[in-house]
Amino acid sequence: MILSAAAVYSLYTAAQIRTLRQLQTETVNRNRVDSLLLLRIQNDLNALGLAMRDMLDAGEPYPLSTWESQLKRTRTDLEDAIARESRFAPRSRTADQSRYLSASMSQLDDALNRIFQLARSDEKEARTLIRLSLQARQEALSTAVSRLLVQNNESEQEASVETERIYARVERNLYVFLGAMLVVIAGTSAYLLQYNRRLLNQVTALAERRSELTQQLISMQESTFRSISRELHDEFGQILTAVGAMLQRAHRRADGADTELRAELREIHEVVQSTLEKVRTLSQALHPVMLDEVGLESALDTYLPLFERRNGIAISFEKSGVGRRRVNGEIAVHVYRVLQETLNNVARHAGCSQAIVRLQQSPAQLVLEVEDHGIGFKGRKDGGMGLVSMRERAEILHGNIEFLEARNGGALVRLTVPLSSEEVHAAIGN
């Protein structure tokens, strides 16, 4: 509807502008040029009249022949002006008016020629001819030019009135068009706003449900990891520890036995001890018990050297303000998981051998930064679900996580967690 209305109005406006342009080009501008040429003719005729007055002045000591060169220049300019004026004559001028102007000029020119020919033999008769014939012809031609000027002015006034009418029609139609467009746009906008609001509400509800589901999955995952970690640490760890102790007692009792039995007992004990270490490592990876026992700082002190040995990446650990308040519980778990995921991304994607971990704590907040000088985020193909998980963990803590470009190149991950927020404490049960 808007496009159709705009097309119709544009066609109508284009037609009005075309009419206005034609009116201005063929009437107004043509009349103005013609009026300027008529004024030029009028000035030449006035100059001719002044010259004739001087020629008839009895006190002039000069003969009439001395005026011939001056009048010749005036005649030449007058003829040129009339010739030009005939090309720009408005359409309202009749053929009789054009013929009369041309004929009057020819008669004036003939009269001037006769006067100067007569002046060579009889100046007195020539002066009489000027008074009786030339002045009358000059006045008649001047009167005709004045009528044409008046006619041009009237035509120009009519064109101006018509131009005002066209402008008024275009302006009125513009207001009508704008009013109609405002009504259509207002109605369309109201419909689109309602439609978009419904879509936005649906998207928001889906996003909230997705976020809730993700957070529930993370919480269930942590709960599952914690349960499995405790089972591994408490049950399997104790069983393997008991088996190891039993093997040690058997080894001591077998001191007098053969060498092969003792070697087999020693080998079994080593396998049990190795399995116990693996179970403890797996338990630590699933849920570090140190987070609950000694807090985040000590858990990081233990985890970072292990990560260095496993991945061959040198970690520089910088601490600021830590120790004022021990961070444990759910806050410590989520911060620890963000650090784990970030360092795993460094090992898989960064392509560097060094990383910096900064832990800054104040009464109001906890800030964790992991910086590397590798290829940065632009050079990494995909962040995978790890980045999504880190964002969700930050949202659980009502904090903020940023994925930035490091100052000297590489990537910088910054997690900011409020520590004094009652909302956070309520969310995590502290």
Q: Which domains does the chain have, with CATH numbers?
A: 2-186 (1.20.120.1730), 294-428 (3.30.565.10)
| 25-66: pLDDT as tens digits | 666 777 788 888 888 888 888 888 888 787 777 566 667 777
Q: Is residue 280 predicted with pLDDT exceeding 80?
A: no
Q: Which of 333, 383, 297, 328 is nearest to 221 (CA)?
A: 333
Tell me which of 78-92, 306-320, 363-377, 402-416 is least confident: 78-92
Identify the burial level of 236 via C-beta atoms within 10 angstroms of its C-beta, where 0-12 means exposed, 13-18 middle and 19 or more buried: middle
Tokens standing for residue 105: 């000029």
pLDDT at position 325: 66
Distance from first CA to last CA of the chain, Å, rounded? 61
Tokens 């996003």 correspond to: 207
Tokens 């080593």 correspond to: 270
To the question of pTM greater than 0.85 for the whole model, the response is no
Q: Is residue 154 predicted with pLDDT exceeding 50?
A: yes
Q: Is residue 324 predicted with pLDDT exceeding 70?
A: no
Q: 53 Cβ partners below 8 Å, 6+ apart? A: none
pLDDT at position 281: 72
CA gap 211, 402 in Å, rounded: 18
The percentage of the chain sitting over the pLDDT mark of 70, rounded to a whole number, equals 83
pLDDT at position 130: 79
Q: Are 12 and 4 in contact (CB under 8 A)?
A: no
Q: Are 349 and 375 in contact (CB under 8 A)?
A: yes
Q: Is residue 387 predicted with pLDDT exceeding 50?
A: yes
CA gap 150, 141 in Å, rounded: 14
Q: Are 47 and 74 in contact (CB under 8 A)?
A: yes
72-99 mean pLDDT:
82
Q: For residue 415, what pLDDT band results from cuts at 50, 70 and 90?
A: very high
Tokens standing for residue 120: 């060579």
Q: For residue 381, what pLDDT band results from cuts at 50, 70 and 90?
A: very low
Q: Are 350 and 389 in contact (CB under 8 A)?
A: no
Tell me which of 135-139, 200-204, 274-278, 358-362 is least confident: 274-278
| 94-148: pLDDT as tens digits | 888 878 888 888 888 888 888 878 877 777 887 788 777 878 888 888 888 888 8
Query: CA Rg, the chain, in Å?
Result: 54
Q: For residue 328, what pLDDT band results from cuts at 50, 70 and 90?
A: low
In DSSP terms, 357 is beta-bridged to 317, 370
Q: Give, for 251, the enclosing helix (H) or strand (E).
A: helix 237-253
pLDDT at position 48: 83
Q: Is residue 24 predicted with pLDDT exceeding 70?
A: no
Tell me which of 56-65, 89-98, 197-206 is least confident: 56-65
CA gap 11, 170 in Å, rounded: 12
Handedness of CA 252, 253, 257, 261 (dihedral sign): negative
CA gap 222, 148 in Å, rounded: 103
CA gap 96, 2 in Å, rounded: 54
